[in-house]
Structure 1
Amino acid sequence: QYQRSQILSDYQYYICILVLGGTHNFLSLLVFVSYFVCNHPRLPSLRNGVNTCKKLSLRRKQEDEEEEDKKRKHVSKLDARFFSVTTFYYAVFLAMSIGGTFSNGYFFAFHLLNIVNNNQLLSGVIHAVTQNGKSLLWVGVLGLVIFYLYGMIGFALMRSMFNPNDYLYCNTLWQCTVTVIRYGLIGDLFEIMKPHDNEKTFEKFGIVVFYHVSFFIFITTIGLNIIFGIIVDTFSELRDLKWTAESDMRDTCFICSRNSYDFEHHGKGFDHHVRHEHNMWSYIFFFIHLNGTKVNDYTALEMYVFKLLGKENYDFFPLDRALSLSAMGKDATETKLDDLLGQVTSIVEKQRVEELERKRREERLKQKQWEQKYRLSSFRRRAHLPGPLEPEPNVMTTSGEDPRMLQLSPLPPFSQGHRRQSYGDYSSQGRPSI
């Protein structure tokens, strides 16, 4: 009866695996088909294969590459390739589901990894490790080289310390290298390695100490910290990028790149702007509409945008412009014009003052020249020295001019006696009449 119940339980288990496995196969098939329906993976064309062969053979020159790039058709960033990692993943996803149905469910464990594909946080963790994968790969290669060097030193100088009974194999250089990698990273290699009774000397101990300490410094301390540092730096970079992206999405319009402060103070609010005025999903739907419409059915505006998209030119986006901020733009323009007018007025006033100052300096210079000339003629009259006698000028102001700007006018001609009389008047007064 026990054997009968055991057979019944095995049969029930087998039926349960077939039913649940068949359901899992159907759902996996739907996931696989939905990937192809949503992404439309493209098969590689014959031209792409020929170009790849030319690149590998290094027969195509740089000029040919530039011409080929110019003639290359614009490819959307949303396109998926048939031979890609994502396509391979979904194919393996379906194959593992079918294999789990006929292998007592062992292959179903693979589908637990799909949690990474549906979790943004875990995807970020995987991306942090794989983003600098090239750096980690080369650090790993350097680590293998160092392990090989330590394995060679152990094989040449300390082979007797590797006891096969303790799973320390060192009969060949390859065995020594694998043993050093296995027990060196875990950390118990130096606790297991024991010298032979005939080799317990201080010289042998010194070699072992140098071997152990240098391995601890270069591998355990520096090497592992380099790897951890690369991963931690990648995490910090991704965190900064995420913070920047979230800050832009929260405070900056995706279409016009204007800050939320402008819309909160001059418009109907930033939320109203990004939902109704510059909704980025409306632009996405418009691009999808262009992609699904024939070129002959385009309007003039759609044709204009389509040509710009083909050239990867995005000038049709209203950068730094918004309808709700048009009034603010007019006010800003008027303010700028008023500032320019004030600057021009100040410059003109400054030039006028400088011109007046220049004229005043010229008049002062003329007056000084006249005073020097008149003093010389007056000295000759007093000393009765021979020489030409200059007529005495009258100094008077002209109506309508600045009284400080003097105009000099000579007296009418007169006789010698009149000249002496004038000289006497001048001598008594001491200065010309104004």
Structure 2
Amino acid sequence: VSFVGNRGTFIRGYKAMIMDVEFLYHVGYIVTSVLGLFVHELFYSILLFDLIYREETLFNVIKSVTRNGRSILLTALLALILVYLFSIVGFLFLKDDFILEVDRLPDSKAKGCHPCSSEFFVMVWYLSPLCALAFFAFGFPSGAPETVTDQWERACDTLLMCIVTVLNHGLRNGGGVGDILRKPSKDESLFPARVVYDLLFFFIVIIIVLNLIFGVIIDTFADLRSEKQKKEEILKTTCFICGLERDKFDNKTVSFEEHIKYEHNMWNYLYFIVLVRVKNKTDYTGPESYVAQMIKVRNLDWFPRMRAMSLVSNEGEGEQNEIRNLQDKLNTTMKLVSHLTSQLNELKEQVPNALKQE
């Protein structure tokens, strides 16, 4: 209630209330707390995300993903298209190479292929041709087929399973989908195709596409950090009220720190705005009426932009000093002219006397 009242939500209308992001955030905060109280304690853990909202550095980590979300989504779409193409190639030509090791649950009802079936024989042949020949010649040992079939299963019998396998294992392995496929022999006819398939997936999907996504996120985070540092630098070297920089107060009677603390203290301006808002209009003075009207129309011309009283007074004092210096120089020059004039008159008087004597 204090947040809503201070934000003025009650007097802005329902539309402005619904469009206010911070108001919706606090409503969601309350709903989550109620769900944790009456439904399940798990909802309380969601409240830990409030730390991200309050800490600017963590919030920038989230913004690094959401700020260029369109670029990231389009790059991810490109990755899905490539995974789909590689899945089709695997389903059409490399279906028998998708044999994965699995750990079945003890009570799992999934059964492997029959020990005497051709599928089991092909599977064992790919795993170990020597064992397959031994099983074919001497028969299967007791319990061996079930153990082998329980540990391995085919993962590309359908196109959907191929897509899921390539998407799940291909993107999570550092070497791509080739890390989880069967290791082929160099004598097989499809050995060159497997090498090309594995290398293309590694270079195109793992190195290029995924690093494109990571690069966008990292560059966005670096930009956000640079913007934050720039804002902090501006706040440290520029007056928030008038916009004058620190170097304007060099060699002046008032320092920059004194200026932002006493002359243009931004909190004093905030207190004055609050005073104008809560004060009765009939009690306004002339300046207060002017400022109230400017605030109403969201006009900031009443702020002293690029000027300060201390600089104006210093400029005035400098002009006065220059005038005094010019006056002193003028007086000195007039005295010198008077002295030269007197000497010239004496010379004029001496010249006729000298001529008479000659």
Under a length normalisation based on structure 2, what TM-score does the superposition of the two structures give? Answer: 0.64
Deviates more, 1:126-135 or 1:100-109: 100-109
Match of 1:193 in 2: 181
Q: CA deviation at 1:174?
A: 3.1
Higher-Rg structure is: 1
Provide the residue aligned with 2:42 in structure 1. Answer: 106
Separation of aligned partners in 1, 2:87 and 2:11:
48
CA distance in 2: counterparts of 1:140 and 1:336, whole angstroms = 70
Distance in 1 (CA, whole Å) between partners of 2:201 and 2:158 is 20
1:132 matched to 2:120: no
**Deviates further, 218-227 or 145-154:** 145-154
Task: Give the deviation of 1:208 after TM superposition.
Answer: 1.7
Spell out, residue by residue over 1:290-318, the C-alpha distance to the aligned partner (whole angstroms, 9 max, x if none).
Answer: 44456666544344334444554432221
Structure 1 pair 314/92, CA: closer, same or farther in 2 (3 Å)?
closer
Displacement of 1:325 in angstroms is 0.7
Q: Which amino acid aligns with 1:176?
A: C
Residues 173-182 or 306-315, more deviating? 306-315
Deviation of 1:260 after TM superposition, in Å, equals 1.9
Higher relative CO (CA 8 A, sep ≥ 6), structure 1 or 2?
Answer: 2
Change (3 A) 1:334 1:231: farther
| Unaligned segments of structure 2, at least 5 residues | 103-152, 324-358
Could you tell me the TM-score, scaled by structure 1's length? 0.54
Residues 253, 314 of structure 2: 8 Å contact kept: no
1:205 matched to 2:191:
yes
Partner of 2:165: 179
The residue identity in structure 1 corresponding to 2:208 is I
Counterparts in 2 of 1:262 and 1:84: CA distance versus 1, 3 Å: closer
Aligned to 1:36: 4
Q: Distance in 2 between matches of 1:332 and 1:148?
A: 77
Q: 1:118 aligns with which of 15, 37, 54?
A: 54
Residue in structure 2 matched with residue 248 of structure 1 by the alignment: 234
Q: Distance in 2 between matches of 1:304 and 1:185?
A: 64
User: How do 1:208-357 residues align onto structure 2 when only pairs under 5 Å count?
Assistant: 208-292=194-278, 298-330=284-316
Shift of 1:200: 6.2
State whether residues 160 and 196 of structure 1, in contact with CA within 8 Å, keep that contact through their aligned partners in structure 2: no
The residue number in structure 2 matching 1:163 is 99
- Which residue of structure 2 lines up, in the alignment, with residue 411 of structure 1? none
Report the CA distance shift for 1:146/1:299 in structure 2 as closer, same or farther (over 3 A).
farther
Letter in 2 for 1:305: V
What number of residue pairs does the alignment pair up? Answer: 271
**RMSD between aligned alpha carbons?**
3.4
Distance of aligned partners of 1:283 and 1:190 in 2 relative to their CA distance in 1, 3 Å threshold: same
Q: Percent identity?
A: 31
Once the 2 structures are TM-superposed, how far is the Cα of residue 42 of structure 1 from its aligned partner?
6.6
- Residues 101, 129 of structure 1: CA spacing in aligned structure 2 closer, same or farther, 3 A cutoff? same
Partner Cα separation in structure 2 for residue 309 and residue 165 of structure 1: 71
Letter of the structure 2 residue corresponding to residue 149 of structure 1? L
- Cα distance change of structure 1 residues 180 and 320 upon mapping to structure 2, 3 Å threshold: same
Measure, in 2, the Cα distance between the counterparts of 1:123 and 1:84. 18
1: CA distance, partners of 2:207 / 2:242: 50
How far 1:289 moved relative to its partner? 3.6
Structure 1 residues 266 and 194: CA distance shift in structure 2, 3 A: same
Aligned mates of 1:324, 1:249 — CA distance in 2: 20
Match of 1:427 in 2: none
C-alpha change, 1:37 and 1:329, in structure 2 (3 Å) is same
